[in-house]
Amino acid sequence: MKLKLQLLLLAGLLIFTFPQKAGAESVYLINYLAFDENGREYWTTGEVYTEAIDSGQIAYSVFSAMFGGENTYCIPAGVTVLGTEIREGNLFLDLSAEILDYGGSFYEERLKAQLISTALGLPGVASLSLLVNGRRAGLSEGGEIWGADSFSLELDNQP
């Protein structure tokens, strides 16, 4: 959003105002993996602004932005968030079946890292459990995200 400078004349005074985002928005981060111009992997972030105050609504907003964003490295096309619920610190993230359309263990490990690291950065979230179409499901390469409270990923920095 471009910042516009507005001039107002009020009672003979020149006042400068800067438009603010509507409501009391907070910013949350999406953790992405990307490649630089030399073919090396690196972590980057995207920002999500939301007025949501409920942790489940915040998670819904953040993951909806993740799957609808520009950075789609290791994130399959067409994924939608079907629901989010936080119980005792565990985020249950329900995604559409397109989440399984990535192909290969290389991509699976990176997808898991992006999902878990983003979830753990949200308020009230200590672990992540992934549902696919409302059911506990394994990932395409046999992995699973259920009660995940950490991840391990070695970046591939070979050009």
List, for residues 100-133, the tens digit of each pLDDT value: 998 788 889 999 999 999 999 999 999 999 999 9
| 10 contacts: CB under 8 Å, gap ≥ 6 | none
pLDDT band for position 37 (cuts 50, 70, 90): confident
Question: Residue 25 CB: number of other CB atoms within 10 A?
Answer: 12
More confident residue, 13 or 89: 89
Residue-level pLDDT at 3: 29
**How high is the pLDDT of residue 71?**
63
Written as one letter, the residue type at 17 is: T
* DSSP strands (E only) in the chain: 6-10, 13-17, 26-35, 41-50, 81-87, 90-95, 127-132, 135-136
Report the pLDDT averaged over residues 35-46: 86
User: Would the pLDDT of 20 be above 70?
Assistant: no
Q: List, for residues 53-79, the tens digit of each pLDDT value.
A: 889 999 999 999 998 876 667 888 899
Q: Give the residue with greater pLDDT, 103 vs 137.
A: 137
Residue that is written with structure tokens 């004349």 in the block: 9
Q: For all residues of the chain together, what is the average pLDDT?
A: 81
More confident residue, 86 or 32: 86
